[in-house]
Amino acid sequence: MTEPHSTLPPELLQIRQQRLTRAQAAEYLGIPEHTLANWVTTKRKRVPYLKVGRRVYYAVADLDRFLEECRRT
């Protein structure tokens, strides 16, 4: 099975693989930073993240998947 965005140009693939800080991820999602922090610590919403030491990062591709999963029709 191929990756859904494997046909994207390399520049767009590189953007999707970027890691964002919590502040950047919150802005990307359009929510306050404290809301994102709350979701992660309480596990109220399953937002994938990567923790390196004390730092937390979010992959743009993971945030896009999260938004798709939140979509209601």
Res 19 pLDDT > 60: yes
Task: Note whether 34 and 40 are within 8 A (CB).
Answer: no
Query: What is residue 1's predicted lDDT score, i.e. its pLDDT?
Result: 44
Burial of 6 (0-12, 13-18, 19+ CB in 10 A): exposed
Instruction: Tell whether 23 is covered by a domain.
Output: yes
Range of the domain at 64: 19-70
pLDDT single digits (tens) 29-65? 999 999 999 998 898 888 999 988 999 999 998 999 9
Average pLDDT over residues 10-18: 68
Instruction: Tell whether 12 is covered by a domain.
Output: no
Instruction: Tell whether 31 is covered by a domain.
Output: yes
Average pLDDT over residues 21-27: 94
Instruction: Tell whether 44 is covered by a domain.
Output: yes
Looking at the 3D structure of the chain, how many domains does it have? 1
Beta-sheet strand order (sheet of 19-20): 19-20, 55-59, 50-52
Instruction: Tell whether 54 is covered by a domain.
Output: yes
Instruction: Tell whether 30 is covered by a domain.
Output: yes
Instruction: Tell whether 13 is covered by a domain.
Output: no
